[in-house]
Amino acid sequence: MRRGQRGSHRPLRVGEQMRHLLAEYLVRGELHDPRLEGHSVTVSEVEVSPDLRHANVYVSELGRPVSEEVRAALEAAAGRLAGRLAREMHLKYAPRLRFVPDRRFEVADRIERLLREARERELRPMAGGENPDG
């Protein structure tokens, strides 16, 4: 593998490792923020910049977008989380974490609804007894 190719995979590996660690911290309740109590936060993906200094952390709450209250709690803990990630992963710099609502579930629901509506239109008998073949 050439040098340029090898470097392009590192952000993916680092992002996946960050995802696992952040999910562990949340499952164990290690953030100790009352705004997170009673919320089940899922880290679906971490997108890391090529220089590993920035990371978008995609989060949701049990299949729906994360609430502003939970997102604010995560943003408040971002510095501590980044420092911990840097230490545990032996990174040269602590990444700047940005928590982003994961909208995949919304998009999937919308697509499913549109497909269902299209299928229902196809199956509806044509009005006025028209013949679709001519």
Helices 68-89, 3-27: crossing angle, 10 deg rounding: 120
Residue type, 102: D
pLDDT of 70-118, one tens digit each? 999 999 999 999 999 999 999 999 999 999 998 777 777 788 888 888 8
Overall number of domains in the chain: 1
Half-sphere exposure of 46 (CA within 13 A, CB side): 28
pTM of the model: 0.74
103 in a structural domain: yes
- Closest among 97, 15, 103, 19 to 56, alpha carbons compared: 97
| Residue 18's pLDDT band (cuts 50, 70, 90) | very high
Cβ atoms of 18 and 56 within 8 Å: the answer is no
Does residue 131 lie within any of the structural domains?
no
Whether 129 maps to a domain, the answer reads: no
Q: Which residue range(s) make up the domain with 17?
A: 3-123
Does the residue 133 lie in any domain? Answer: no
